[in-house]
Chains A and B, each alone.
Chain A
Amino acid sequence: MTALPPDIGRWFDGRGWAPRRHQLEMLEAARAGRHALLVAPTGAGKTLAGFLPTLADLVGDPPGGLHTLYISPLKALANDVRRNLLTPIEEMGLPIRVEARHGDTPHDRKVRQRQRPPHMLLTTPESLGLLISYPDSFELFSTLRTIVIDEVHAFALQKRGDLLNLAMARLQAIRPDLRRVALSATVADPEGYAKWLAPDADAASVEIVRGDPGAKAEIEILLPEGRVPWSGHSGRYAAPQVMEAIAKHRTTLVFCNTRSLAELIFQDLWKVNEDALPIGIHHGSLSVEARRKVESAMARGELRALVATASLDLGVDWGDVDCVVQMGAPKGSSRLLQRIGRSNHRLDEPSKAILVPGNRFEYLEARAALDAVEEGELDPDDFRDGSLDVLAQHLMACACAAPFEEGAMLAEVRSSAPYERLTGEAFTRELEYIESGGYALRAYDKFKRLTPELDEDGQTHWRVSHPKFVKQHRLNAGIIVDAPVLDVRFKNGRKLGTVEELFAASLSPGDTFFFSGMSLEVITIKDTDLLVRASSKEARIPTYMGARMPLSTNLADRVRGFLFDRTEWAAFPEDVEEWLSVQGQRSVLPRPGELLVETFPHQDRHFMVTYSFEGWNAHQSLGMLVTRRMESAGLKPIGFVANDYSFATYSLERVRDPAPLFSPDILTDEFVDWVQGSHLLKRAFREVAVIGGLVERQHPGKRKTGKQVTFSTDLIYDVLRRYEPDHLLMQAAWADARTKLTDVGRLANLLNRAADTMVHVDLDRVSPLAVPVLTLIGREHVAQGIVDDELLIEAESLAAIAMAAD
């Protein structure tokens, strides 16, 4: 067994602690000079395990220079870790300097950090991406020994992960014996993450260290009076019972799937909070100050409950939480586990969680999640190829630091796991894109951002043409492209947070909405401010556009299993069991592999409900495509609604044979057409155009508002689609649209098996299984892709009615 250095050993002894097995194994991996991935549940002392080798290295007389980079997905986490790290360092009496660096770090400190670096620098993927754009980065990183990536599961598979991975390739080129370390929550595919972490995607070079599993979580499903409602997806009906749970525990986290739901639940809880217990709210749209205030109240143990969204999914450690409530369905088992992990950071005590399903399908989903957690089944990790827009940003950063030789840079980029399959041709296109837009019509040779130069050996070196492009790059680099937002402010100027422009546009003066736990009345919209006053009137809900997490495939499979396997039903509440058995009598309970399609008349309309279980995103897309086919077939569709489990179309004519509506050629014939014409691709294009550096990002106080950015990228998209539809950024936008926006993979699976597995049942009335989705009619927003003309005509007629003279 590896022994701790005496100073560190004494510190452990002094606290009455012993190092854990996985902490020592991490130390051992470091001594052997191997990369390491630690997979352990929350509360296992992961962060200390990540730093221990660095502390051991720096005990005694540390040499100058940067030794360790710590990368966190959140600024707040970097700050938090700094605090938690400083305590042991002080107590051990180690002469180690630790500093944080991120977007909020003052400029002079950033300059000083580059000139006189600390031993340990805590930062984010974006800040690291900027650091490597400076010429002095070669010197700064020449002493670097270790990079530690915290919460790697939270962002490795996203664009921020691409950016970080490319940055690691750069660091490795500067410092070949750099050791890579990643810390992860429990994941389904540690090998996949090891491959992601390793230089050249060589998983064998990574030591995978597994933490001991914590005590099994105690999860219960909350059913007030043993009943589950037909509709809804929020669990709002259970507010009194959730309040009871809050009263019974020390500190409770109440997780909601969307920001708007969080606002709503907060209001509901407040109404039944008879003892006026201190409860707070936390989500990504609140102002930084509002969030900090709640976070510190939480840290001081002053709150009994905090209503939160995914903004709290990551590690900030608040010790005393002893109960986690999940409102609505959890959507995936990994996410549920991570949320539960926020409670009780002591491994030996079980975490406690309460699930509040919103409807009967969600009840099945909650059961599925419970079983999955019990069996340790996690959601699949979807590793994908790196994004082309991120690569463009990275290459420009490299060029800003120093000219690079083309062949060497290609090899460096390919050593980054997400880009190991990048072709030479694709790489050339990237360079041409950065150089002058990469257009077939070479119109901008006069305005090049990069200049290629041949050396004596015939190698091409690329350098930035003018210092102004370096400045431009640093101002615009970054991965997160926010939706255009308006600041919510009181008249005295105090900022409460932001709402998306789309939502603000639907408000008129006098309207009220929930925000930051208050009911606010709109005074007016002025420039980029939404001016409000506090109101005692009943409020509407803010509707943020934020992406919706679709049901994971493994939970979907389990829910399908429940439908068919009657032996499970005994454990269900009576009304759920009754719901399923009546479905069995009236219609069909599909076998796990079957695609059930029901048709029935209801209120002068003909309905078709498809139980495909492919998640909300895929169903939205399919709903659009199928209604378009119905239109061509003369079935006169009126609309459709979708949830995670099914989607329903309604039309004036009856669907007699659904099979032709679901043939796989829909993906070749109609899908491309639809995506190009809809706003999906424009939305995706906007993001890749900013990340890829085609257009400048919005800067506070600078001319562009988010509105103008949206606008001009839409026009650029239209022109590009017309003249160069295969442009690199169009490819990047398509890649995003396919994966993130439409879930086309799941769609394709469904359509490919539709012909063989479809079970069509024609009924004389609505079936029990159809009720949850049908109750959405009239409450859902219109789907992406409906023809704008129709909406404009509708708006005019409404305006006409409203404005009509009596």
Chain B
Amino acid sequence: MVPFSFSGHKFFALPQAALFWPARRALLVADLHFEKASWFARLGQMLPPYDSMATLADLEALVAATDARELWCLGDSFHDSDGIDRMPADACARLEALTEKLDWTWITGNHDAAFAGRCGGRVIDEAEVDGLVLRHEADTAETRPELSGHFHPKLRLTVRGKRVSRRCFVATERKLILPAFGALTGGLDAGHPEIVRAVGPDAEALVPVSDRMLRFPLAA
């Protein structure tokens, strides 16, 4: 866990692509994309049907490690609005156990707009929490400090001939984009014009490693 502050609030960035908010004992994650594999399987690409399990196991571990009380999902929690119907029964049960145990909020995204939250938790479009706006996709017109997901930012570098690629946060003074958390979620280059446009100038890619935060300036 690497401490860092955003808009006057203290957070911990977790290398597992999540954010912990100690003041609220809240975990924030974005883009879980549950049941992505089964969505592809319908089309004939039989991806391993374990992605929901893997994502859930990671969430459970984080909850245990941080002793979180709240959990906020910043949208695209299911890969599609029917995803929840395809979720295997035991995965559903594990998810329900989590939503029961925690104060759980689903913020809807573009993939799961019609998502009904049938596994517990409350479903909302966006929220303002202690002065921070939480929504799925960054809004360039937003003037308040904002946390969002949607873009799946990833830092890709070639160092001494070897390609390194890592999920990352993208931050400016008033905007913070979280990496995708889901086990099968791909990524968009952190310096991609769409991301830079969404957060504005002077953006940095943030990569938590064991004991510190690495910062990489992104070209505007």
Contact = CB atoms under 8 A, between A and B. Distances in A.
B114 interface: no
Nearest to B210: A789
A439 B161 contact: no
Contact of A711 (B42, B46, B186): B186
Contacts of A711: 165, 186-187
A311 interface: no
A447 B161 CA distance: 42
A724 to B, nearest CB: 7
B113 to A, nearest CB: 21
A436 B46 contact: yes
B46 A694 contact: yes
A719 B50 contact: yes
Interface stretch (A239-247, A370-378, A779-787): A779-787
B51 interface: yes
A657 B162 CA distance: 32
A719 B44 contact: no
Contact of B46 (A447, A543, A712): A447
Most chain-B Cβ atoms within 10 A of its Cβ — which of A436, A543, A715?
Answer: A715
B50 A803 contact: no
Contacts of A696: 45
B83 to A, nearest CB: 13
Contacts of A716: 47-48, 184
Contacts of A695: 45, 47
Given A443-B88, A694-B45, A722 B50 contact: yes
Most chain-A Cβ atoms within 10 A of its Cβ — which of B88, B159, B165, B207?
Answer: B159
Contact of A447 (B41, B51, B156, B217): B41
A468 B54 contact: no
B42 A715 contact: no
Contacts of A719: 37, 48, 50-51, 54, 183-184
A803 B217 contact: yes
Interface residues on A, range: 35 or more
A468 B44 contact: yes
Contact of A444 (B41, B157, B187): B41
Contacts of A472: 44
A469 B159 CA distance: 41
Interface residues of B, number: 39
Interface in B152-203: 155-166, 183-187
A722 B54 contact: yes
Contacts of A433: 46
B48 A781 contact: no
B184 A792 contact: no
A791 B166 CA distance: 11
B159 A791 contact: yes
A86 interface: no
Interface stretch (A77-85, A128-136, A593-601, A793-801): A793-801
A672 to B, nearest CB: 20
Contacts of B215: 796
A799 B44 contact: no
Contacts of B49: 437, 439, 441, 443-444
B185 A715 contact: yes
A444 to B, nearest CB: 5
Nearest to B51: A719
B184 A796 contact: no
A570 interface: no
Contacts of A792: 155, 157, 159, 164, 166, 207, 209, 214
Interface in B18-47: 37-38, 41-42, 44-47
B47 A694 contact: yes
B4 interface: no
Contact of B48 (A720, A782, A791, A795): A720
B184 A791 contact: no
B53 interface: yes
A780 to B, nearest CB: 8
B183 A715 contact: yes
A459 interface: no
A127 B50 CA distance: 35
Contact of B183 (A438, A718, A786, A789): A718
Contacts of A723: 48, 50, 53-54
Given A437-B41, A447-B41, A794 B46 contact: no
Contacts of A449: 44, 46
Contacts of B186: 708, 711-712, 715
B88 A795 contact: no
B166 A781 contact: no
Contacts of B45: 694-696
Contacts of B183: 715, 718-719
Contacts of A90: none
B34 to A, nearest CB: 13
Nearest to A784: B162
A793 B214 contact: yes
B158 to A, nearest CB: 4
Contact of A796 (B46, B48, B165, B216): B216
Given A439-B49, A723-B53, A792-B209, A799 B216 contact: yes
A788 interface: yes
Contacts of A803: 217
Given A786-B162, A793-B214, A795-B157, A444 B44 contact: no
A791 B162 contact: yes
A444 B88 contact: no
A782 B161 contact: yes
Interface in A433-484: 433, 436-439, 441, 443-444, 447, 449, 468-469, 472
A52 interface: no
Given A447-B44, A791-B160, A799 B207 contact: no
B36 to A, nearest CB: 9
Given A444-B46, A447-B44, 4 more contacts: A543-B161, A708-B186, A715-B184, A715-B185
Interface of B: 37-38, 41-42, 44-51, 53-54, 88, 155-166, 183-187, 207, 209-210, 214-217
18 contacts: A437-B49, A439-B48, A443-B41, A444-B38, A444-B49, A447-B38, A468-B44, A543-B161, A694-B45, A694-B46, A711-B187, A719-B50, A724-B48, A782-B160, A792-B159, A794-B160, A795-B159, A795-B216
Please provide the 7 A-B residue pairs with the shortest distance between their CB atoms, ordered closest to farther: A437-B46, A781-B161, A443-B49, A723-B50, A791-B159, A782-B160, A796-B214
